[in-house]
Amino acid sequence: MTILEHQGRPVAALLHDPAVLDDPGLVQGVASAAQLAAANARLRAEVQVQVEELAASRRRLLEAA
């Protein structure tokens, strides 16, 4: 098992087939790919929150006008 962390906090765990552990490069590659996917998901969520905040701000401006 490989624990993935973000800013020192665990965010995911990868469970490996025991045969994978014989190739440290493969384990590192899979961990890197998973970290990129997690970072992408986190960034998409942050952007979605910003889009929703912007839409709410625009609605308030229209209502005030």
pTM for this entry: 0.69
Distance, CA of 50 to CA of 55 (rounded, Å): 9
Distance, CA of 53 to CA of 48 (rounded, Å): 9
Q: What confidence tens digit (pLDDT) does each residue in 50-64 have? A: 999 999 999 999 999
Sequence-distant (6+) residues with CB within 8 A of 20 are 26, 27, 30
Q: What confidence tens digit (pLDDT) does each residue in 23-56 have? A: 889 888 988 898 899 899 999 999 999 999 999 9
Token representation of residue 57: 């701000």
